Structure 1
């Protein structure tokens, strides 16, 4: 068993512990102290002076097996590159299908998640896709969540979007009930991850489900809430009644020109308006298409979501918006782990050793650990996927 002693880093768990030494072994955090003296075989000591140690980033939405397709077969996007995820410090991710559940399948996405897990990161999946009734692996949302270890919920289910199946309140309530029961029986969150489109109906459908059924607001986690100011305002109002929201880090100049608010800026605005960091997450939408539509709903352009956008948003939160690092860690790691019920997002004794070292000056990533393995050291990959 390899042991790693990380010495002298400024540690955030996500709260600041100050300068600490951290011992990692057997996939776990074994010790944290201001001065650890360890003399054991197979010990690798890393001088982390001038560096910040945080939990690995947790990405609530990544299209690991590819997505897209809104512009025809040539617009289908490629699968996620494992090396890119490591370089981006994303140690835990949750995969979803999008618009296309015809040429893209849950079977392929699950196989991709299993491969990513074997390579050394942590990958989970949502069953279903944009449309209802939900496509599943076992014939049931509840069974998928209960019987498939990687499956933690259902998503991304589209609302307020011309690409959705235009679900009714009753359909969405029934789906959430299935996810909730599956989660209860398996000890998982059973979250319903919601894609919110550009329609001015915003979150009205979710609000109807919560007000007219027994489904608690915490069962839903809506994303793309930084699409424009009106949706951000709706999201902030949603959090005031106990809900949580997700912002999308991947963007482009066209989206910004149309009114999209960069994820880090959206978090800063929400924090100023009293939203707790624990109620917000940032996802990358990695390897999804970033479609550009005209006013008739016709596709006129297509770009690719970037797994590195989560780290970039973290840097912007701290360096541009003066958000405390502990709050930035909360939003980019800890909150997602808690909302989605994942064993990640913190650094305490016995935790999974999913860690990222950052240069204290510019918060660039220097080293990455996942499941206790060093996947990148001093910006050099230590493990690479075979293809």
Structure 2
């Protein structure tokens, strides 16, 4: 399909509402946003949005792209992410990470999967490390991984306040964050430490402790699963009010919700009501991760698989059921995670930004078209993505 595309008559949310506009895409970039733009058929293709919402491609900051899990034994290992599932859900940028299992799920495998997804048209980054300390790396150090391995943008998913973590000390957290920060400064990357926060009594206190007793800024940490329970949500609001980003997980199960977890959409409303700044709040899907439900004694009760489609679903629920204004809810799945991880050109619609765009039918609040890096991957609800071995 043409590398020059004009999208006409779209209600553009950048994520800020821009009104009815035309958007010109040239190559993999947004070239022009204006009204009454025209494009000759001999130069490129024109798509009439007919008033549909045009939003940035969603940015998913935590996906176990090469599968995860295993807390229920080897038979419970979860499957890899399929690119059709991501693009069909409006997700055009993902960040891959390891979780509990860094033995049979390796960084080398994660790297290979990230490169494969990127080659198929999905922008894919990755984190070095996993739940464990000392941090597993590709090259021997956090600094060299971030500086020398192109897709690596930070460290994660490092676990705290969880019975599955390595229970890192303050000094260990300081050293990891400092190495990631310096590497980010030297390479022009975010160098952020993405942190899995479990249901333990420690909450976010290990991160507050680092910030209080070191020169590490609070923005160096990006904690997720903050909608796990009421105490963690309140602690997360304090973290956000102090200047840090916090992330709510959109994948869940009825059993996990019954144990005290909030839906991400509900947690967003509660956090805003408690005074959290909206520009410090994000959603991620935790897709392909194992959704584990542990009993009070730590035994596994049941396990399911995270769904990348939950990211758009919870954005929709935030608007339709929680009453959050459209642009505010949209930034939680687009521009906010892009800023948290220092991914310029992602999560926004502006001239010069990456051409990652999603058209949404306003009557059904449903995705109809998805463009990733300037190419249509879903057009009129039909996917053009095919697996190499299909």
Q: What are the equivalent positions in structure 2 for 1:274-353 lying under 5 Å apart?
A: 274-343=275-344, 344-353=346-355
The CA deviation at 1:121 is 0.8
Task: Give the SS at the match of 2:355.
Answer: coil
The CA deviation at 1:40 is 4.8
The CA deviation at 1:274 is 2.4
Name the residue aligned to 1:17. Answer: 18
Cα distance in structure 2, aligned partners of 1:228 and 1:149: 36
Q: Structure 1 stretch 295-304 or stretch 104-113: which is displaced more?
A: 295-304
Residue by residue, what CA displacement relative to the aligned partner does 1:107-142 show, whole Å, maximum 9, x if unpaired? Answer: 111110101111001000000000100000000001
Matched, 1:138 2:101: no
Q: Structure 2 stretches of 5 or more lacking a match?
A: none
Name the residue aligned to 1:227. Answer: 228
The CA deviation at 1:37 is 1.4
Matched, 1:128 2:153: no
Name the residue aligned to 1:272. Answer: 273
Q: What are the equivalent positions in structure 2 for 1:223-262 lying under 5 Å apart?
A: 223-262=224-263
Matched, 1:102 2:103: yes
Q: What are the equivalent positions in structure 2 for 1:10-49 lying under 5 Å apart?
A: 10-49=11-50
Residue by residue, what CA displacement relative to the aligned partner does 1:294-353 show, whole Å, maximum 9, x if unpaired? Answer: 222111211000000000011011111121111112101100001101130111111110
Task: Give the SS at the match of 1:247.
Answer: strand
Cα distance in structure 2, aligned partners of 1:166 and 1:211: 19
The CA deviation at 1:222 is 0.3
Task: Give the SS at the match of 2:333.
Answer: helix
The CA deviation at 1:385 is 2.4
Name the residue aligned to 2:81. Answer: 80
The CA deviation at 1:24 is 1.0
Name the residue aligned to 2:376. Answer: 374
Contact 1:315 1:362 in 2 (8 A): no
Task: Give the SS at the match of 1:192.
Answer: strand
Cα distance in structure 2, aligned partners of 1:25 and 1:385: 26
Contact 2:155 2:193 in 1 (8 A): yes
Residue by residue, what CA displacement relative to the aligned partner does 1:203-241 show, whole Å, maximum 9, x if unpaired? Answer: 111111000011010100100000011100000011111
The CA deviation at 1:50 is 3.2
Q: Structure 1 stretch 132-141 or stretch 34-43: which is displaced more?
A: 34-43
Q: What are the equivalent positions in structure 2 for 1:66-215 lying under 5 Å apart?
A: 66-215=67-216
Cα distance in structure 2, aligned partners of 1:121 and 1:292: 31
Number of matched pairs: 387
Residue by residue, what CA displacement relative to the aligned partner does 1:273-295 show, whole Å, maximum 9, x if unpaired? Answer: 22222101100000000011122
Task: Give the SS at the match of 1:332.
Answer: coil
Cα distance in structure 2, aligned partners of 1:85 and 1:34: 31
Contact 2:146 2:152 in 1 (8 A): yes
Task: Give the SS at the match of 1:349.
Answer: coil
Cα distance in structure 2, aligned partners of 1:187 and 1:180: 10
Cα distance in structure 2, aligned partners of 1:309 and 1:76: 20
The CA deviation at 1:270 is 1.3
With normalisation by structure 1, the TM-score equals: 0.98
Cα distance in structure 1, aligned partners of 2:277 and 2:241: 10
Cα distance in structure 2, aligned partners of 1:42 and 1:274: 50
Cα distance in structure 2, aligned partners of 1:4 and 1:305: 34
With normalisation by structure 2, the TM-score equals: 0.98
Residue by residue, what CA displacement relative to the aligned partner does 1:332-386 show, whole Å, maximum 9, x if unpaired? Answer: 1100001101130111111110011101123210000010000001110022222
Name the residue aligned to 1:64. Answer: 65
Contact 1:2 1:42 in 2 (8 A): no
Q: Structure 1 stretch 273-282 or stretch 156-165: which is displaced more?
A: 273-282
Cα distance in structure 1, aligned partners of 2:6 and 2:367: 18
Contact 2:39 2:45 in 1 (8 A): no
